[in-house]
Amino acid sequence: MKDDGASSVIWTNWTQDPRWVDIKRPYSVADVLRLRGSLQIEYTLASKGAERLWNLFQSKPYVAALGATTGNQAIEQVRAGLSAIYASSCQVAADLNGAGEMYPYGGLSPSDSVPNLVRSINKSLQRADQIHYAEGKTDIDWFAPIVADAEAGFGGNLSSFELMKAMIEAGASAVHFEDQSAIAKKGSLGGRVIVPSQVFIEKLIAARLAADVMGVSTLLIARTDANTARFITGDSDPRDRKFITEQRTSEGYFGFRGGLEAVIARGLTYAPYADLLWYETTAPDLKEAQRFAVAIHERFPGKLFAYNCSASFDWSRQLDATTIRNFHVALSAMGYKFQFVNLAGFHSLNLGMFDLARGFRETGMAAYARLQQSEFELAESYGYEAIAQQRFVGTDYFNDVAQTIRGSEPTSPKESAVTQLAASAHASDPKK
């Protein structure tokens, strides 16, 4: 097997780069090179995104993100100033998955549904970058890192290996896997079922190996659902037995005593194999988050965490306004570097259309006029650009392409379409 010094480069990176402190790989550099093949393919979006996301975690108190269901939503998130994007399997299951169906969770969707969403988001961000760059605008880095949801890996170790590869090929910067059973999904359908600790560790190893084989430092996030788990698929791992009860189900599952103690135990077990830890919870409980963080940091100082500021929480009823306003900052002080709202895209998309449709039914064009006025105001005050749909999707860019092919000089962009449309509306305002 031809080496060309690659093994020395990889080993030096693993052992000397602070990025890999306390990260355990139960395989060798030789294994990686053997499985890689003779040609090293570059995955620019995934590689650059992973590097950028890691640097953000090192330089910022926290990184906040919202779930995006479409590429257009991702563009708006970046334009509004967010520095990362979350791609949820539950959102893609609800709409636009590979089966063309509407499902309650990602496990029912084809396994390529989230990679396809990630690819679509990256294509949209690339178009936004091309449009602005052709106009001489470089003030926004459009290629925001994407954190993608791999669910439970859609099968066993090999499925997890292949899914991680698909995420990287699509341009994901970070990927999270969860220790729920890929078969007995999901909590809302009758009690969460988790897998033995070692079973999940092997999936994390499979995902890390896939990233190493592809030569990308993809961030790996380990999520545990032990907090609300009521069953476990087997008792093979001695580390799980203190939480297993005598209860058995007709499917053969064992009862499991979930809770924060089980969450901490699993977090400590998963920590050597993941870059960030995430425990799923049912309420925005800062004291619970603190207890988890302290317990992990006693064994793994500086370990980073992710926190799902879930759309399932009833925020205004469970917390007062001051606590909600300071929630990100409080979590960041504990080490929760990635904080996101998983289903933000789903809820904003549906609420926006419902509100418009209701108003349209009741007041006709007055409802749409209100929406349009809001667009004008956001365009003028904050740079919102989707009000000019043709420019937003690339009409000027492709005119530039066509003129370049013909050999004529491209017309330099004059007043932006957003400004023109806003000015036209202002000029025709009957109040003026």
pLDDT band at 137 (very low <50, low <70, confident <90, very high): very high
Q: What is the pLDDT of residue 188?
A: 44
DSSP string, 258-293: -SHHHHHHHHHHHGGG-SEEEE--SS--HHHHHHHH
The average pLDDT across 184-206 equals: 83
3-class state of residue 339 by DSSP? strand
* Interatomic CA distance for residues 134 and 139, integer angstroms: 13
The four Cα atoms 73, 79, 83, 87 give a dihedral, to 10 degrees, of 10
Beta bridge partners of 231: 193, 255
CB atoms within 10 A of CB 3: 11
Give the ranges where 148-259 is alpha helix by DSSP (H).
157-170, 197-214
- Classify domain 29-345 at the CATH topology level: TIM Barrel (3.20.20)
Above 50 in pLDDT, residue 138?
yes
Residues 282-298 as b/e (b if ≥16 CB within 10 A, e otherwise) read: eebeeebbebbbebbee
pLDDT, one tens digit per residue, over 95-122 is 989 999 999 887 889 999 999 999 999 9
The C-alpha angle 82, 225, 210, rounded to 5 degrees, equals: 65
pLDDT band at 428 (very low <50, low <70, confident <90, very high): very low
The four Cα atoms 31, 32, 35, 37 give a dihedral, to 10 degrees, of -130
8 Å CB contact between 305 and 263? no
Above 70 in pLDDT, residue 389?
yes
**What rounded mean pLDDT belongs to the chain?**
93
The average pLDDT across 376-396 equals: 96
Q: What is the pLDDT of residue 411?
A: 62
The average pLDDT across 236-251 equals: 94
Tell me the percentage of the chain whose pLDDT exceeds 90.
Answer: 88
Q: What is the pLDDT of residue 295?
A: 98
The average pLDDT across 137-151 equals: 97
* Interatomic CA distance for residues 208 and 278, integer angstroms: 17
The average pLDDT across 225-238 equals: 96
CA-nearest of 328, 305, 283 to 223 is 305
8 Å CB contact between 109 and 92? yes
8 Å CB contact between 89 and 140? no
- Tokens matching residue 425: 């509306």
Which is higher by pLDDT, 427 or 66? 66
The average pLDDT across 174-195 equals: 79
Tell me the percentage of the chain whose pLDDT exceeds 70.
Answer: 93
Above 70 in pLDDT, residue 201?
yes
Q: In what order do the strands lie in the sheet with 254-256?
A: 192-194, 229-232, 254-256, 244-248
- Tokens matching residue 218: 């993809």
The set of residues, in sequence order, having a beta carbon less than 8 Å from that of 424 and lying 6+ positions away, is none
- Tokens matching residue 211: 């990233």
Phi and psi at 12, nearest 5°, equal: -60, -40
- Tokens matching residue 261: 């103690």
pLDDT band at 182 (very low <50, low <70, confident <90, very high): confident
Chain region(s) in the chain for CATH 3.20.20.60: 29-345
pLDDT, one tens digit per residue, over 17-68 is 999 999 999 999 999 999 999 999 999 999 999 999 999 999 999 999 999 9
CA 109 to each of CA 72, 101, 280: distance values in angstroms, whole numbers, following the listed order: 22, 8, 21
pLDDT band at 410 (very low <50, low <70, confident <90, very high): low
